Amino acid sequence: MSFNIGLSGLYAANKQLDVTGNNIANVNTNGFKSSRAEFADVYAGSNRLGVGKNQVGNGVRLAAVSQQFTQGDVNTTGNVLDMGIQGQGFFVLSDNGSRVYTRAGAFQASKDNFVVTSDGLRLQGYAADSTGKIQKGVLTDLQIDTSSLQPKATSLIDQGINLNSSAADIPLEVDDGTGAMVPNLPFDPSDQTTYTKSFPTKVYDSQGNEHTMEQFYRKTGTNEWTMYTLVDGRNPFSPSSTAPLTGTISFNSDGSVKSMTADNTGHPAGSSFTVTNNTFTMTGWVPAVEDSAGNWISNGAVGNADGMRLAMNSTTSYNTETARMSQSQDGYATGILSSLSIDSTGVLFASFSNQQSRAIGQVALASFANEQGLQQIGGTRWTETYTSGIPGIDAPKTGTLGSVESNALEGSNVNLTQELVELIKAQSNYQANAKTISTESTIMQTVIQMA
């Protein structure tokens, strides 16, 4: 029996060396999880009742090779499609329709712009619609959309302007000295004495052409201002005309907007200039261009179908300089993909040459009730088994799932110092068990010689 016990010890020590050697061999393998050999003692079965007080063991056996799913170091690489997981979870890959799982996030773009591993397995995630909204639900192959971003006609301009309450009045009418009121200094965009301040704003038509909308503000009385609006120096509804759209803004004594009105007379059919809830709305804009003869004509594009709105909710009239404090507008020209970024929730953002960005997909992560039950298949990948349970798949940072770090990879979690110590222990175990067999052999020789 001693021979068998010694042999089982040699086998166990050899397995310990195998596991330790495999860990050391993969010390630089991205996403690798170390293993450890776990052993159990062996006793012969007995049909005797009661407790065997003098029972001798039969040696040792390999009980399990247990995977250690501790976090590895996440190191920066500079490649945007390199992704490391901080916390729990596995990337989901499609292997010809079958799902496999990995912690190694070294991805690249295929010739069809799918996000793939070096051997072509496609990364799984959630797609985004044309507006950039992530479509949760069915997993799909993540693909980088390299098409141009469609232009968007400006529909809303939101700006915060202060119109100086102490600015000099430029009344529309003055007393001619006889008590009669006569027109005073008609508005002229080229004559700065006919207005107090002007503010230009870039706007875009349906084809992504850029235009300049300019608003001229003129203080026409106490707490009252008149606003003149031109696009490219032309009337927005009739490019052949330079007559501006006209509106008025009255302020309360505390500097807040009291009321707003718009002159909606004389405009072509289908166009209007109106006010609702402190917002001017210009409907029927005809984007124009100057031809070779110097005439302004339609460029073939249109404005937003619902009109171009100018929100004045943040407009004030305080005793400080007339200035624009903030401004935003929602239109943009055609955009060409210029860069890609990935946030901690795994959302892929495409940035375009027109300064716009849009989500084009989101990485999915999988978690398991029993990670130890996953089956290793090589390539730093696992498949689910009955023991592991079915995967719970969701977006990163959902529930217990970890976050995604772009431009980085998770390294192996092998502790090289510890593994070298394990080598020494395995070697000692092997030598000790070999000594057991050697000793038993010596005893047997002695017995044979006595016979």
DSSP string for residues in 187-225: --TT-GGG-SEEEEEEEE-TT--EEEEEEEEEEEETTEE
Look up the CATH number of domain 154-327: 2.60.98.20
* pLDDT over 80 at 95, yes or no: yes
Query: Predicted confidence band at 437 (pLDDT cuts at 50, 70, 90)?
Result: confident
Q: What percent of the chain has pLDDT over 70?
A: 96
Amino acid sitting at position 310: L
Considering only 101-110, 130-139, 229-238, which range has the smallest mean pLDDT?
Answer: 130-139
Alpha-carbon gap, residue 402 to 66, rounded angstroms: 22
**Which of helix, strand or coil describes residue 175?**
strand
Return the amino acid letter for 69.
Answer: F
Q: By three-state DSSP, how is residue 135 classified?
A: coil
Q: How confident is the model at residue 451 (pLDDT cuts 50, 70, 90)?
A: low
User: Where in the chain is CATH 2.60.98.20?
Assistant: 154-327
Query: What CA–CA distances, in Å, run from 284 to 116, 205, 234, 235, 258?
Result: 48, 12, 14, 11, 27
The rounded distance, in Å, linking the Cα atoms of 219 and 195 is 7
